[in-house]
Amino acid sequence: MISVFVYGTLLVGESNYYVAEPFVRSVQPGAVRGRLYDVGHYPSLALNTAEDAEAQEGIVVGEWLEVTEEGLKAMDILEDYYGPGQSNEYERVWITDVNGSREGWVYIWQNVSGLIEITSGSWKVK
């Protein structure tokens, strides 16, 4: 199984969960260090800067999906991720949960200039 941290439209009950659902084997709550930004119909996650990390600031709440390899491929297509070094809308990077108990993939979008931060850190609690 492959662990993927989701924080927006891939959350259970959200508009794109159907993409992952056939491949999901388990869902667990989680949180990672970063900041969430509103892109309109979906959010983007930016990893914490060195200053944020040092201050222990910026927590994004979401879910860890355990998916099959086919599930990861389906999410890659949704997120316009074509592989390392490609022209990707989102990058897929390895991340660890804030409590250190879980790690896996997450899709991030580092170019958040001009976007409004979702200060709650939760797509469901904007």
In a domain? residue 87: yes
Contact, 9 vs 44, CB < 8 A?
Answer: no
In a domain? residue 25: yes
- Tell me the CATH number at 106: 3.10.490.10
- Cα distance between residue 10 and residue 27, in whole Å: 11
In a domain? residue 19: yes
Residue 38: per-residue pLDDT: 94
Q: Provide CB contacts within 8 A for 88, sequence distance 6+.
A: 79, 80, 81, 82
In a domain? residue 124: no
Number of other CB atoms surrounding residue 36 within 10 Å: 25
Q: State how many domains the chain has.
A: 1
pLDDT tens for the chain, 126 residues long, are 999 999 999 999 999 999 999 999 999 999 999 999 999 999 999 987 655 555 567 899 999 999 999 999 999 999 999 999 899 989 999 999 999 999 999 999 868 889 999 999 999 987
pTM attached to this predicted model: 0.92
Contact, 72 vs 104, CB < 8 A?
Answer: no
In a domain? residue 126: no
In a domain? residue 107: yes
- Which residues are tagged catalytic? 79
